[in-house]
Amino acid sequence: MRNAVSAFVLLMSLSLNTFGHEYWLECDNFFLRVNESTDLRLFVGLALKKDAEKPYEAAKTDSFQMFSGGESFDVRPLAEDQRSPVLKFASDRSATYLVSMERNPSYIKLDAAKFEDYLREDGMEYVIAERKRLGESAKEGRERYSRYIKTLIQVGDSRTGSAKTRVGSRIEIVPLENPYSKKVGDDLKLQVYFSGFPLAERAVYADNRDGENYSSRKFTTDKDGKFTIKLTNKGVWLIRLVHMQRCSRNCSNADWESFWGTLSFGLK
């Protein structure tokens, strides 16, 4: 019995740690020659520091698509359930490719103190204020959360408009310029949408990993959901945010629902 309890506590700890971290897609190589292949991997971690690699999970994946040349392709038939990497990619056409993955909702409960710590860490003080207004500051946080994960891959020299494609996810980070047309020191303009509309005054984070060097900066979207980052370093970039609102339907197990969005790309 003691071993069973210990295993349960460990499982809950791992679940909480995984919940509080980002999921992102990352290629072994973001810059490919025509017909060159790369592995696309799904990682969980914090600010591009990898905790674990996740396999493709068919039962938890609502959508897995690729966009290029004005067309979209369902790549779920190409992915193997419970296998890593989540996709092997190659293309015979020079272009920018957008890959989008949506994972179905999960649920979690946190005690009031841990819930508030998490809200503050991810820039959601507005939820802390709303809980206070509702007299729920001492109440546990019951949350339903979903993840919306995007990445950009560059094949050959042709920088195409696929990078700026809106895929229609519930929450979505959209570059207004192709990051693969940028160099170190340039600015990059982006926009956040929620339910199809610009999401104003929300915290967004831009993380960079250049070898063993990590950095992270916080931004706030303007009234049109826009913000601008400076591409200070080469390496892997991850743009991320979490938006939370009061649960509006099917709420027997949740008082709040959150939407986690990420966008990753490389810079050289």
Whether 10 is covered by a domain: the verdict is: no
Q: Does residue 211 surpass a pLDDT of 60?
A: yes
Indicate whether 15 pLDDT > 80: no
Residue 12 pLDDT: 40
In a domain? residue 8: no
- Joined together, the tokens standing for residue 150 give 């995007």
* Structural domain contains residue 5: no
Once rounded to an integer, what is the mean pLDDT over residues 49-55? 97
Instruction: Report which of 70, 49, 257 is spatially closest to residue 148, judged by C-alpha positions.
Output: 257
189-208: pLDDT as tens digits? 999 999 999 999 999 999 99
- Supply 39's token pair: 């592995």
Question: What value does the mean pLDDT take over residues 211-239?
Answer: 98
Domain that holds residue 57: 23-109+142-267
Q: Per this entry, what is the length of the chain?
A: 268
223/158 Cα distance (integer angstroms): 33
One-letter amino acid of 157? D
| CA dist 66 → 75, 122, 127, 152, 178 (Å) | 7, 29, 34, 10, 16
- Rounded distance between C-alpha atoms, residue 78 and residue 153, angstroms: 17
Please state, for a pLDDT cut of 90, what percent of the chain lies above it.
92
**What are the pLDDT digits (tens) for 100-136?**
999 999 999 999 999 999 999 999 999 999 999 999 9
Q: What pLDDT is attached to residue 21?
A: 87
Task: Tell me whether residue 173 is in a domain.
Answer: yes
What the block records as the tokens of 64 is 């897995």
Category of 182 on φ-ψ map: left (φ > 0), alpha (ψ -120 to 50) or beta: beta
The verdict on residue 196 lying in a domain is: yes
> pLDDT band for position 27 (50/70/90)?
very high
Looking at residue 19, what is its pLDDT? Answer: 53
Cα distances (Å, whole numbers) of residue 187 to 29, 184, 221, 228, 229: 23, 9, 15, 7, 6
Task: Return the pLDDT at 158.
Answer: 98
Distance of CA 219 to the CA centre of its chain: 16
Calpha distance 112→109 (Å, rounded)? 9
Averaged over 32-54, what is the pLDDT? 98
59-105 pLDDT, tens digit per residue, is 999 999 999 999 999 999 999 999 999 999 999 999 999 999 999 99
pLDDT the model gives residue 20: 60
Q: How many structural domains are present in the chain?
A: 1
In a domain, 86, yes or no: yes
The answer as to whether 245 is a domain residue is yes
Residue 7 has pLDDT above 70, yes or no: no
Return mean pLDDT, the chain: 94
Q: Is residue 120 part of a domain?
A: no
Give the DSSP letter string of the chain.
Answer: -HHHHHHHHHHHHHHHHHHTSEEEEEES-SEE-TT--EEEEEEEEETTEEEEEEPP-GGGEEEEEEEETTEEEE-GGGSPTT-SSSEEE--SS-EEEEEEEEEEEEEEEE-HHHHHHHHHHTT-HHHHHHHHHTT-TTS-EEEEEEEEEEEEEEESS---GGGG-----SEEEEESS-GGG--TT-EEEEEEEETTEE--S-EEEEEEEETTEEEEEEEE--TTSEEEEE--SSEEEEEEEEEEEE--SS-TT-SEEEEEEEEEEEE-
